[in-house]
Each structure stands twice: as C-alpha cells, then as structure tokens.
Amino acid sequence: MRIHKGIRLILVLLLCLLSTVDILAQGRRLNMPEHDDKAYYFGLTFGLNYSQYRIKYTQSFTDEDTFYKIQPRFSPGFSLGLMGNLRLSKYFDLRFIPSLTFSEKRVISTFKNDSVSDRSIEAICVNFPLQLKFKSDRIHNFRFYGMLGGKFDYDLSANARSRRADEWIKVSPADYGYELGVGFEFYYPNFIFSPEIKLSQGLNNQIYKDGSIPLTNAIQTLQTRMIVISIHLEG
C-alpha cells in the first residue's frame, strides 16, 4: 500500500512540475545560457527509494512442508551522492553518480503451520552507476531527458560471512545491473533543478547459500529491484 501511495505522490509532483513548463518557457530571461556549452559540470543528488527482492524459488520450496508462501515487499530508503557530467554532444551526456544508499527489503514468510515471519534486511550500499543521458532540445528554461546505464553496488552491511546463530537469511555484498529512467531540467539563474525517476534492476544472485538456514534452501535466486526518485542540483 505504501508503494502505491508513493507512486501516486510522484505522479502528482510530476504533473505539477510539467504545469510550470509553459510559465518557464514564456519567461523573459534565458537562465544560464552558457551552460549547454560546458564540457563538464558537477552536482549533488538526493534520492528516495523503494526496494524489494525478486525471488526465484527452488524445487524444495514446493516439495517440502516448511513454507507455504515467501512474499517480498517494497520498503522505503534514501540516498545521497555526487554527480559528474561529461558533455559528449548536443544531445548526449555521460554521467557518473557515486552515492551512498540506505535501503530495506522486507520478506514475509508464511509457514505450513500458519505461523508468519515478517522481517527486513537492511543494506548500506556504495553505488557506482555510469549512465548515458540523451537530452531534448532546450525549451527556454526547460529540458526533458532520458537515461540508461549500468551499475555496480557493494553492500557494506552484507552478512554473507556472519556466524551469528540468529541470521534468518544471508546475502552477498556485490551486485551489478542496469538502470533506466526519465527526468526534467529546470534552469534557474544559478543552478539547475532536475527531478528524476528511474528503475534500478540488479542482475547478480545475492543469496548466500547456508544449509543451516531453512529460507536459504527455499530460494534459488535473489535479486534487488529499486524504484528511485531523485532530485539533482546541478551547476
């Protein structure tokens, strides 16, 4: 339910931002006219994320009588980062946005005896995304863009090597994957305000096999999916 409310909020925000495009396009002053000719520039990024696991089950999940259902759920988090933008041409840029992401993945396990376990695993990830950004023509003080790219993440809090007896699942720290998204640039006199929404999909299997943990035996593949709403402040 929380993820649906978050998506509705995002859509309302985007509609409000789009409604200001005509106002900006009709303004008398062209802000930062020299910016489009910069070879490179930097910025800050702040993000709100919703993440969950994508799960593929083992054959033992259906053959054995331990679990009835294993359901991943979206949970919120946030991120902070720096941006480096390299101009490739009039319509293409290359972006590198190293960031630190705090996220949480919730898993609800229902056992065959009708008991329920609702637990979350927290992650503190260092992210290294490299993105190709393709831009529209500038409409006075507004521009639309799309982006796609690859990423490498490392979870500083991963518990793959943990020897604690109370661990309910173990995950490996390294992940890689792809990202795609869209955004808008609003030019102000001294900076660019750029809201963006993207999908970040991990491709690495992060489950760490430990035969002593029943949940591990029921899961074949564990991948991370994240929806990220970001605000970039660019100079």
Which among 235, 208, 231 has a CA at the least distance from the CA of 80? 231
Distance of CA 86 to the CA centre of its chain: 22
The mean per-residue pLDDT over the stretch 77-90 comes to: 96
Mean pLDDT of the chain: 86
Give 165's contacts (C-beta < 8 A, 6+ positions apart).
Answer: none
- Lowest average pLDDT, out of 12-21, 67-76, 181-190, goes to 12-21
Q: What pLDDT sits at residue 71?
A: 87
* 99-117: average pLDDT: 87
Residue 24: per-residue pLDDT = 47
Q: Which residue has the higher pLDDT, 110 or 60?
A: 110
Neighbouring residues of 210: CB distance < 8 A, sequence distance ≥ 6: 167, 170, 216
Coil, helix or strand at residue 204: coil
pLDDT at residue 220 tops 70: yes
Q: What is the mean pLDDT of residues 73-84?
A: 95
pLDDT at 16: 56
Mean pLDDT of 83-91: 96
Look at residues 47, 43, 136, 123 and name the one whose alpha carbon lies nearest to residue 90.
136
- Measured distance CA(151)–CA(148) in Å, rounded: 10
pLDDT at 121: 87
pLDDT in tens, 175-214: 999 999 999 999 999 999 999 999 999 999 998 887 777 7
Condensed to tens digits (0 to 9), the pLDDT of residues 37-56 reads 899 999 999 999 999 999 98
Beta strand 99-111 with 92-96: parallel, antiparallel or unpaired? Answer: unpaired
pLDDT of 62 > 60? The answer is: yes
Residue 23 has pLDDT above 60, yes or no: no
Architecture in CATH for domain 2-32+41-234: Beta Barrel (2.40)
Query: Degrees (nearest 5) of the Cα angle 63, 64, 70?
Result: 95
Angle formed at CA 81 by CA 75 and CA 85, multiple of 5 degrees = 125
Strands 142-155 and 92-96: unpaired
Domain spans in the chain, listed from the N-terminal domain onward: 2-32+41-234
Output the pLDDT for position 141.
94
Residue 17, classified by CB atoms within 10 Å of its CB into exposed (0-12), middle (13-18) or buried (19+), is middle
